[in-house]
Chain A
Amino acid sequence: GAGVSQSPSNKVTEKGKDVELRCDPISGHTALYWYRQSLGQGLEFLIYFQGNSAPDKSGLPSDRFSAERTGGSVSTLTIQRTQQEDSAVYLCASSPGSGVEQFFGPGTRLTVL
């Protein structure tokens, strides 16, 4: 079956512009996670959805970051007024909600010039 997909795979933007990153989880997976991996760093937790609600937004780095999930499926991570330090690979993962395993997408590489 289809895995987690993310789009775009690469995004280059200018400082100050807004960007939207999309995640399509595996069908039926109730939990969805966003992570960020900066160069040479581990995965940094950003936000977690259970269904359409986000019980834990503690990882969002600033109020420029927001995320939503609709229909218990697709999720969008929005970064407003991008800064150079936002450059990273943004990874999305989903899980069935009962188990501990997460299934990751290939990521979106964001470059802010």
Chain B
Amino acid sequence: DQQVKQNSPSLSVQEGRISILNCDYTNSMFDYFLWYKKYPAEGPTFLISISSIKDKNEDGRFTVFLNKSAKHLSLHIVPSQPGDSAVYFCAALYNFNKFYFGSGTKLNVKP
């Protein structure tokens, strides 16, 4: 029973353009949503988070949008850079102690 889903396994974007990564969830009781970035042979690194009571959080080139009615969140990266090429995981936090992760989206930013 997958509570967090990333339906696009891969995404290819031209350098300088916007990258939009999507994530859907099923549990309306999640407290926080997070995005992690993962390079090969490394553990995921935290990128940005959003509380379930907010609908937008911005940090530099990264913005996360939360649509609670649709149970959908997205990560926008603008402008995209080749160094952004990695696997991006969406995660949801339940009861402030259990995390559910999506299966990841591999982003390729072409120079």
* Chains A and B come from one and the same complex: yes
Q: Is B29 interfacial (CB-CB < 8 Å)? A: no
Q: Which of B50-102 contact A (CB under 8 A)?
A: 89, 91, 93, 96-102
At the interface, yes or no: A25 with Cβ under 8 Å from chain B? no
Judging by beta carbons under 8 Å apart, are B103 and A41 in contact?
A: yes
Bound-complex Cα distance A79 to B30 (A): 30
**Looking at chain A's contact residues, is the secondary structure mostly helix, strand, loop, or mixed?**
strand
A50 within 8 Å of B (CB atoms): yes
Q: How big is the A interface, by class?
A: 20 to 34
User: Can you pick out 28 interface pairs between chain A and chain B where the beta carbons lie within 8 Å of each other?
Assistant: A31-B97, A33-B99, A35-B101, A42-B2, A42-B4, A42-B89, A42-B101, A42-B103, A43-B89, A43-B91, A45-B98, A45-B100, A48-B98, A55-B97, A56-B97, A56-B98, A91-B43, A91-B44, A100-B96, A102-B46, A103-B46, A104-B36, A104-B43, A104-B44, A104-B45, A106-B41, A106-B42, A106-B43
User: B residues near A, CB below 8 A?
Assistant: 2, 4, 6, 31-32, 34, 36, 41-46, 49, 89, 91, 93, 96-104
